[in-house]
Each structure stands twice: as C-alpha cells, then as structure tokens.
Structure 1
C-alpha cells in the first residue's frame, strides 16, 4: 500500500498539506467540503502537488516537515525547483532547529532520558568508516546524511548536504536528496533505515533540538561526536515517546 503527502491551493491563496492512503478519495472529500476544517471554509481547492511514500510514518514525517516550510519553499516544491528549495533553506531563520552549540557540549549539557537497550543492529564496517570520515571532513560544521540498508542491517551511508544557514550548530538534510532516496527505495534500491548527523563539540547523544524535531517514526539515528581526533558514534531508535539507544554489531570489511 502506498501513502501520499499532498498540497492543495485554497481559494484564498493559502496552502493546505495533508497525507492519506487513498489520494483520489481524499481529494474528492476536500473538493466536496468534507475534508479538513481549513479547506471547508476555503473552497474551491486545487490539487497542486503530491508524493507517494512506502509507509504512513514516512508520509506523516514528510507532511510535518512541509507544513513547517515557508510559502516560498512550498511553491518551489510545487514547481519542482530543488535548487530554489535548497537556497531558501540556507537563508531561512535558524529558529527552525532551535539548537545552540552550548546546549550540546561541556559539562552542563542536558542529557536525555534513555530507555532500556534493544537487541543489536548490524552495521557494515565500511558504513561506519564512511560516517566517521564524513563527520571529520565536515568538522567544525555538522555533517548529515542517510543510513541505508535492509531491515536491521545498515550496509552503507549516503552523505547529503547540510543546507542549514548555520551549519556549525544546526543541520538540515537536503530534501531533494531525501525524496530521491525514497524514490530509489520504491524502485528496488536500498531501504532508508534512518539518518545521521554529527555534534562537532559535545556528546554522541540526542540533543534537545534532536528530540524536538523527532518524528517518532521508528527510524534509526546515528550521532557522531568527539571531533576528528577521537570520534565516537552511537545509534538510537526514534521511538514513540523518546530516543532508545541501540547496541550494534559490526560486519567485518
């Protein structure tokens, strides 16, 4: 079953973003005035963009992300202008991720509440080395990217651009790379198991901003910290209520 994220242009020029598992029926409901409260009072509505996803969790996470975008960024998405989306993201306000570097580093950094560990994941040694190498290359900026593989096995990582305007203390994965990875997955490519980023100064644990932006979709997060001299990486599950630390086994090279 496919799940869809869609954007409607309302009669007053505003945009509505939603998700559904039956796009045709949901659009008909909106047009008939039986959809969301926002669209009921702003008829007629026009379907201007949609994208399918392999799970409801991924669709919901994408819906939440797009709802937080500016009007200009949504219009760039509708037009398929990926370069413009990246440009707008780089020039956006840093409040999008609300994380200062001093929240991450030093003895006074906040520690999230963690729950009991699950069984081990399997991570290819080459994937771990590529992740650490990307963090070292990006230092003192935050790196970010995708964890790819199958099931509970991470076979490789895909570095992406950090398009946040303040990459020293914040990160944002390029949405064009994320959507391309999901398209490749639907075409038979590797599964998008999760995401990674680095804390150039601080600990390899989820920060307050990481917790604020979490979609609680079960995806795996890898966090690298310690700098190029002493890098450390830890893996977490973005659970329903909090990040759950994961133990892992490394496949030999």
Structure 2
C-alpha cells in the first residue's frame, strides 16, 4: 500500500502539510471541511505538492521534516527549484552549526500548528501564548489574550492565564516551558522590545513570522537560537 506526504495551499496563503494512505479521499475531506483542524477555516485549499512512499513511517518522517521548513524552502520544493532548495538546506545547516552544541527542543505537530494558526488568526496584531510540555518536549501551545494596549507591535500575555498555568504545573500538570508570540511584519528573531522585556530566566521563546518559526532560549546572557524538530506527539 502506498503512502503520501502532501502540501496544501490554503485560502489565507499559508501551507498545510500532512500524510495519508489515500490521497484522493484525504484531499476531498479537506475540501469538504470534514477533518476539522487547521484547514477547516482556511478553505478553499489547493493541492500543490505530493510524494509517494512505500512505508507510512517514511511519509510521516517527510511530513515532520517539511513542517519545520521555512516558507521559502516549501515553495522551492513545490516549484521543483532543486538548486534553490539545496542552497536553503545548506544555509539552514550552517545556521544550525552556529547554534550552541546540544541545545535542541522538540515540539509536537499539533502545538507547532497551533502557534501558526494563532499568528494567522491574530494578524495584523501579535498573537501570544504559553508553551507547555513534559521533559524536553513541548506538547501544547496555549493561545492567550494579548492584553498589551498596542497589540499591533507588542504583546503581553494575560496575567490570569500565567497564574492558571503555573498553578496547574504545581498541581502536577504540564510544565510551563516558555512563551510564543508572532511578528506580523519582520523576522522570527527577537526584536529590541523582546530583548528589553526578557526575564533571562532560561525559558524558551518561539517567534512566528509568516510561515517561519524560530525557537530561542532566554538565558542570563540574552537570547540564543535553538534547533528544533517537529514530532507527532
């Protein structure tokens, strides 16, 4: 039985990546909105890329890999611009080599997509929320209200959401691993405002800009980039 990894172009301009053992049926389900989730509110969708694999784990591995790619890499794959894809892959590898050794974060696909969805929904304002998890894995991205008086350029997580999350952690719930927010314009790198408000407490920050996501550690020496992988949870 063949398995497929596929990419859809959504009505809001974003890309969705998934895998299935029946491509035609799965695309029909996305069109009809029967699957819920990310694509239901972003119809119509259009299939822009797919690849067949012999084993499910191969298709799932490709899905996880592509979910972690930048928009530029996804579009190079869609357009079959192999030279550009190779160049971007080398650039990403070189960037990873500059990151601190051994510092890597894992995030489940649902949480990764929840951050992207929050950013799309909040645009042109900044989305924000909490990163929750167990061990070294982020298993949930909890969107919260942005209570800053200038949400187009700043974010402030609802204090009550923070209180509730830390209370839940003390009672044995998921650990508060960090925070996420979006940059409606610009790059997924910490802004001067981000640097000024950082607590240098070792928490993880995820920043979403368009389809790009980057993770950062906020330690005593400031922000430094983290490599990451997207898993199925």
Query: Smaller-chain TM-score range?
Result: 0.5 to 0.7
- Give structure 2 stretches of 5+ with no counterpart: 1-97
Is 1:212 matched up with 2:196? yes
What is aligned with 2:140?
156
Of 238, 243, 246, 2:218 maps to 238
Q: What displacement does 1:156 show?
A: 0.8
- Give structure 1 stretches of 5+ with no counterpart: 1-113
Contact preservation (8 Å) 2:99, 2:227: no
**DSSP 3-state at the match of 2:165:** helix
**DSSP 3-state at the match of 1:126:** helix
1:143-222 matches, cutoff 5 A: 143-222=127-206
Q: Cα distance 1:211–1:118, how it changes in 2: closer, same or farther (>3 A)?
A: farther
Number of aligned positions between the proteins:
136
1:1-253 matches, cutoff 5 A: 116=100, 118-226=102-210, 231-252=211-232
**DSSP 3-state at the match of 2:161:** helix
Contact preservation (8 Å) 1:171, 1:197: yes
TM-score by length of 1: 0.52
Partner Cα distance (1:117, 1:148) in 2: 24
The list of structure 1 runs, each at least 4 consecutive aligned residues, that deviate by more than 6 angstroms after superposition, is: none
TM-score by length of 2: 0.56
Contact preservation (8 Å) 1:118, 1:247: no
CA RMSD, Structure 1 to Structure 2 (Å):
1.4
**DSSP 3-state at the match of 2:103:** strand
**DSSP 3-state at the match of 1:238:** strand
Q: Cα distance 1:205–1:239, how it changes in 2: closer, same or farther (>3 A)?
A: same
Q: What displacement does 1:244 show?
A: 1.2
